[in-house]
């Protein structure tokens, strides 16, 4: 095995891998073996988090019998998945004792701030049901359920957004550093579009008390966003607007606008309209920051972006992944200049541009 599946799937692509996509295919010498590995790894992560394996080992190394007594899970079942997790580099083993690795300690213990544990359980219960319909979806070109629509989407995203905070938090913090918000002497108005958990605005607000955030999302999402902003201690610097992104009135005069992982579910036409509307909301010289799963112009790589497009096929009516140059053209059409990338933790660099 030439690359570490654990680092590939968990650090930077855990979300993609658990949705049925990721780096494992192509990283392995044989396609059949890699597909089987990916299928198995998703199930093992879900079973291990559901049975509190990582939480139980957080207090120290234990053998299978000790984990069984703590969790109530069978010795046979635990031994099988825990040995597999050793192979995935998500547990380490010395004699008969199993212990967490740095990756599993950081991302798979349920009470850690960067935890992805809830996501893997959610994947097993909600996401894979849609992927099982992929043959029919490919035939019709229609999603199993259009989760980019407010009706079915509100329930789904209300559960999802908190579980995927780690995918965006590092990127949002890198953006805050890049914008030098800690040095701000005047108020900085931020427009957080399709805010979800609010983590983009939260990270910017944490950097400076001068940051004020307007979070925009579906009406049914706003209670979730409010709760999470309060959890992070910055709720008093947020105001909230509920409604469709293209129909809502979120005003103007903003210094910064963030679109964190939203263009891919909006699709080409709505994304172009949204960028134009965002330009109208920003001050001249204001900055737009876009988080996405980017692909190259030829759509031949990277693998995570190409396969995330299949996730959009499964779950949206017209969603897709796009290249930097696609987004650059749309930004210029909308009245932005100096489109550029910013290296940041996450699936792809951020795309930034300046309002003309």
Predicted pLDDT at 314: 87
Q: Tell me the per-residue pLDDT of 211-225, one tens digit each, with 9 for 90 and over.
A: 999 999 999 999 999
pLDDT band at 165 (very low <50, low <70, confident <90, very high): confident
What is the domain-level CATH number for residue 80? 1.10.10.10
- Does a structural domain hold residue 312? yes
- Does a structural domain hold residue 123? no
Identify whether residues 113 and 155 lie together within a single domain: no
Identify whether residues 113 and 157 lie together within a single domain: no
Predicted pLDDT at 10: 41
Chain mean pLDDT for the chain: 85
Identify whether residues 187 and 330 lie together within a single domain: yes
**DSSP reduced 3-state for 321:** coil
Q: Tell me the per-residue pLDDT of 277-300, one tens digit each, with 9 for 90 and over.
A: 999 999 999 999 999 999 999 999
- Return the percentage of the chain with pLDDT > 70, whole number: 82
- Does a structural domain hold residue 80? yes
Q: Tell me the per-residue pLDDT of 120-142, one tens digit each, with 9 for 90 and over.
A: 666 655 666 777 788 898 999 99
Looking only at Cα atoms, what is the longest distance across the chain? 64
Please say whether the dihedral angle defined by the alpha carbons of residues 282, 284, 289 and 294, taken in this order, is positive or negative.
Answer: positive
Domain-ending residue, one of 117, 139, 169: 117
- Does a structural domain hold residue 44? yes
Predicted pLDDT at 319: 94
Q: Which residues contact 64 (CB under 8 A, 6 or more apart)?
A: 75, 78, 79, 82, 96, 98
Q: Tell me the per-residue pLDDT of 69-120, one tens digit each, with 9 for 90 and over.
A: 999 999 999 999 999 999 888 899 999 999 999 989 988 898 876 677 777 6
Identify whether residues 315 and 241 lie together within a single domain: yes
Q: Give the domain extent around 247.
A: 150-355
Number of structural domains (the chain) is: 2
Identify whether residues 345 and 226 lie together within a single domain: yes
Cβ–Cβ < 8 Å for 287, 257: yes
Identify whether residues 78 and 205 lie together within a single domain: no
Domain-ending residue, one of 117, 142, 177: 117
What is the domain-level CATH number for residue 298? 3.40.50.150
Residue 6 reports pLDDT greater than 70: no
Cβ–Cβ < 8 Å for 291, 352: no
Identify whether residues 18 and 67 lie together within a single domain: yes
Predicted pLDDT at 134: 84
Closest CA to 17 of 310, 339, 215: 310
- Does a structural domain hold residue 33? yes
Tell the burial category of 185 from Cβ atoms under 10 Å away from its Cβ (0-12, 13-18, 19+). Answer: exposed
Predicted pLDDT at 167: 79
- Does a structural domain hold residue 127? no
> What is the pTM for the complete model shown?
0.79
Domain-ending residue, one of 102, 117, 132: 117
Q: Tell me the per-residue pLDDT of 38-69, one tens digit each, with 9 for 90 and over.
A: 556 667 787 888 899 999 999 999 999 999 99
Predicted pLDDT at 31: 39
Predicted pLDDT at 35: 44
Q: Tell me the per-residue pLDDT of 303-338, one tens digit each, with 9 for 90 and over.
A: 888 988 988 898 899 999 999 999 999 999 999 999
Identify whether residues 341 and 221 lie together within a single domain: yes
Identify whether residues 272 and 182 lie together within a single domain: yes
Predicted pLDDT at 152: 66
Which tokens go with 33? 């073996």
Residue 251 reports pLDDT greater than 90: yes
Identify whether residues 179 and 62 lie together within a single domain: no
pLDDT top residue among 304 and 1: 304
Identify whether residues 67 and 187 lie together within a single domain: no
- Does a structural domain hold residue 55? yes
Cβ–Cβ < 8 Å for 330, 272: yes
Predicted pLDDT at 113: 66
Which tokens go with 173? 């913090």
pLDDT top residue among 301 and 134: 301
Predicted pLDDT at 127: 66
- Does a structural domain hold residue 132? no
């Amino acid at each position: 095995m030439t690359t570490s599946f654990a680092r590939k799937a968990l650090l930077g692509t855990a979300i993609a891998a658990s949705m049925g996509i990721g780096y494992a295919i192509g990283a392995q010498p044989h396609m059949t073996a890699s597909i089987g590995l990916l299928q198995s790894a998703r199930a093992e992560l879900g079973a291990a988090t559901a049975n509190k394996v990582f939480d139980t080992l957080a207090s120290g190394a234990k053998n299978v019998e000790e984990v069984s007594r703590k969790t109530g899970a069978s010795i046979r079942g635990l031994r099988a998945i825990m040995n597999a997790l050793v192979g995935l580099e998500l547990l380490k083993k010395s004699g008969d004792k199993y212990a967490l690795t740095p990756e599993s300690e950081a991302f798979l213990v349920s009470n850690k701030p960067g935890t992805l544990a809830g996501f893997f359980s959610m994947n097993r219960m909600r996401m894979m049901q849609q992927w099982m319909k992929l043959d029919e979806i490919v035939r019709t070109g229609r999603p199993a359920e259009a989760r980019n629509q407010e009706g079915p989407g509100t329930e789904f995203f209300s559960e999802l957004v908190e579980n995927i905070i780690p995918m965006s938090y590092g990127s949002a913090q890198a953006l805050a550093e890049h914008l030098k918000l800690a040095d701000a002497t005047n108020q900085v108005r931020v427009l957080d579009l399709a805010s979800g958990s609010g983590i983009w605005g939260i990270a910017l607000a944490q950097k400076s008390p001068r940051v004020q955030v307007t979070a925009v999302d579906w009406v049914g999402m706003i209670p979730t966003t409010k709760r999470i902003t309060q959890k992070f201690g910055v709720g008093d610097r947020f105001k909230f607007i509920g409604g469709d992104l293209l129909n809502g009135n979120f005003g103007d005069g903003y210094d910064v606008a963030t679109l964190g992982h939203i263009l891919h579910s909006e699709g080409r036409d709505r994304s172009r309209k949204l960028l134009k509307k965002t330009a109208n909301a920003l001050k001249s010289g204001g900055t737009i920051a876009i988080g996405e799963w980017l692909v190259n112009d030829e759509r031949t790589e990277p693998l995570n972006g190409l396969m995330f497009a299949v996730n959009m096929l499964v779950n949206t009516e017209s969603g897709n992944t796009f290249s930097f140059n696609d987004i650059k053209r749309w930004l210029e059409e909308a009245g932005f200049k100096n489109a550029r990338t910013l290296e940041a933790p996450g699936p792809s660099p951020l795309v930034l541009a300046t309002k003309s």
